[in-house]
Structure 1
């Protein structure tokens, strides 16, 4: 495999002679990329979280009664979705690596079919039919975030990535926010065409997914080396900038050491961190509307009261991404997010043991959990891709972190036991334990990165050398 020498950081850290080899950028084309990539790819993540949360909104509008679901039926609807979701991400990104596969066609077709199946949730008249729809949706939704995250990592340098991943993941926060707004309005459609309000939630949001799929067909670009959204000079500058920052991203998949990729601790430790923070995300996505109704608010008000929770996650996620891009640090922000989530879970535990709970205090805890978990999700993904080299490693990495990382949904969908409502002691204690485990994985990860860098610096002090495709400094 050819090895190309490149800097650990951007062009500015190379000698003036080497930097002169790269022509000055003909324009500030990064903003052109932002406008073309982030909104349309972000919408794919919005759809993922919209479909996670709309079933929670439908639940308080009568879904369980309407389909005569068993006691644990709602929990089953949640976890069955993630069986195919975990399995499909890696094959999807491997398919994306094939030379004749175009991202816009692959993503667009997946979203189009997803929208149709999503609508069918509102048309089915049996519990089994709903389970079938949820299972099929898991296959299609696994493709969306994995492919989108891969494209983002392909177009931006390591310094540019944190804020872009933050923007991408904030679109995910928009999913439950929009779902709450839509559910508030759609519930008034109850009885139209003889359909209950919860059916219209699925039908209308499925139509929205179909509409967005056409935007994906039209606007999602190809890989950087094949892109047509930049001029020739802009494309040349982008490819050279990426090569100097991250090495050869276009290495053929057939030359990859797949065992090394699939056993890379730089993939699996961030995945475990993502898993732990996603426990919080899955819990508040699936159960917040229900918890709010059990705190005494009626269904209509509960739908609206979910919105500020997601806005808080949006603000913290985006703010941390901006600061991370400016400072170059990742793990301090992740630890801060873990502390916030820990505070939220702790409050819920205290009041789950007390019959004299204050609804306002438990409501506040949901804000801390939202801020902490969504901050971590974007930062952890960015941190992982920053320390990987080559398209194959990043393709597998983002598929694993977004696929296996979402396995927390299996836990979240089974520890909130209906008979324990409204205190859910099992669910809240499990959430706290998993969150603390995330802190341990984070500290272990940064310790291993530091250890690697110390060894590398000692080696280079003795024999010299610079970062290349296989030996390079890791980022904290």
Structure 2
């Protein structure tokens, strides 16, 4: 008999054997930094165009008055359309995540560099469209792989760490833009071009690390010993059922109509409205508040750092308590406060600009906390790789449609007060609170109904019938 078979954990009738080593830490170090970088890249590409705008992008390419907003939303058309089929392809048995994600990131880096080399507005639009196709494969694919390796209790802090890499995107972008702006004139290129070129080179460099170090799905992983792999698979089976059900045997209609996917996706849309607004317009708002371009780049950094800390803190507490809903509600309240301050400021010119700057901290803390919590909450209540693949694709694809709204309601002629944008943001955030309450009510109702059934006929959680977490 093989040693791996001897090391297989105890069966369902007994307690799960102690792990042969602290392999969870090994997984954390191998998965989270590299997969997190895929999300950093997404946010870098969202924010570096805002930084380039400060450095003269619009003037350099003779863009029309609505050209900047068009560059924002054209990226998200293919991003939304490609996300679900991309995740379904990645979940196929013969597809290796490292090759799938690595090739996408490599080509993305090349096209990202081309943004800094193009000499026409049309060329920039073409680059943005192609980037949307390639980036659709990255965050959702990374989230799918991440969810496959961790139990429901382990997921919140891991997703929080994953999403903090997204917060690092604008933070790093601000730092890079502050340094790169001094490259203006080198090789005859403007500073805004170097922002795209340098950050594109960084994406290419990370793609080679993805090729080398991102592992396969748990049942095929080669980064654990035989005993560690056996323990992991048994632990995951007990916690989430059989995640690797054949894609061919899946009933797709129940998955695509599952409220446990659609409601979190709508909630993500609502919180991403705030994230999209901050990401796209904070550098511009800071400039219009009176700070010159160089200082505006630096003053955006503490805003993202605040989101970073609140996201990690909430993820840690959620993993310890097993709760999701209270943290979601807290995040919504924080974002709401930020939007209200912006509206009051736009209507009363007596407020200090410092108050408006403070509101960006509240919005960052509230929205990034929600993004991580919503994804982990959704994956906690799904069973089977097909459901998780579709769910993570929908929440990070359709959920990101908020960028269409954000890129069109912040009207340039309304600067620097943006009354239309801020009222729209507040309305959508409040709608997110309503959706959150409806979601938790449905989960509670399901658990109550299941509890009554089990009191009558008995039974335990299985692949198809189980209690939901809230």
Question: Aligning the two structures, in what range does the TM-score lie when normalised by the shorter sequence?
Answer: over 0.9
- The counterpart of 2:227, out of the listed 211, 226, 233, is 233
The alpha-carbon deviation at position 25 of structure 1 amounts to 1.1
The 3-state SS of whatever aligns with 2:95 is: coil
- The counterpart of 2:416, out of the listed 422, 436, 449, is 422
The alpha-carbon deviation at position 357 of structure 1 amounts to 3.6
- The counterpart of 1:185, out of the listed 173, 179, 186, is 179
CA offsets, 1:232-270, max 9 Å, x none?
000000000000000000100111110000000000000
The 3-state SS of whatever aligns with 2:464 is: coil
CA offsets, 1:307-331, max 9 Å, x none?
0000000000000000000000001
The alpha-carbon deviation at position 16 of structure 1 amounts to 10
The alpha-carbon deviation at position 356 of structure 1 amounts to 2.9
Structure 1 unaligned runs (5+)? 1-14
Alignment of 1:210-289 (within 5 A): 210-289=204-283
CA offsets, 1:351-410, max 9 Å, x none?
111233411000000000000000000000000000000000000000000000000000
23-32 vs 258-267, greater mean Cα deviation: 23-32
- The residue aligned with 2:5 is none
**Does structure 1 residue 115 correspond to structure 2 residue 109?**
yes
- The residue aligned with 1:19 is 14
CA offsets, 1:132-191, max 9 Å, x none?
000000001111001100011100000000000000000000000000000000000000
Q: C-alpha distance in 2, partners of 1:421/1:405?
A: 26
- The counterpart of 1:298, out of the listed 267, 292, 297, is 292
- The residue aligned with 2:465 is 471
Q: C-alpha distance in 2, partners of 1:279/1:84?
A: 19
Q: C-alpha distance in 2, partners of 1:257/1:441?
A: 26
- The counterpart of 1:140, out of the listed 134, 141, 154, is 134
The 3-state SS of whatever aligns with 1:19 is: coil
The alpha-carbon deviation at position 24 of structure 1 amounts to 2.4
- The residue aligned with 2:154 is 160
**Does structure 1 residue 345 correspond to structure 2 residue 320?**
no
CA RMSD of aligned residues (A): 1.2
The alpha-carbon deviation at position 17 of structure 1 amounts to 7.6
- The residue aligned with 1:329 is 323
Q: C-alpha distance in 2, partners of 1:346/1:17?
A: 52
TM-score w.r.t. the length of structure 1 is: 0.96
Structure 2 unaligned runs (5+)? 1-9
The alpha-carbon deviation at position 98 of structure 1 amounts to 1.6
- The counterpart of 1:318, out of the listed 309, 312, 317, is 312
Relative to structure 1, the CA distance from residue 472 to residue 190 in structure 2 (aligned partners, 3 Å threshold; closer, same or farther) is same
Q: C-alpha distance in 1, partners of 2:334/2:261?
A: 24
- The residue aligned with 1:128 is 122
**Does structure 1 residue 437 correspond to structure 2 residue 431?**
yes
Q: C-alpha distance in 1, partners of 2:197/2:11?
A: 59
Alignment of 1:20-99 (within 5 A): 20=15, 22-99=16-93
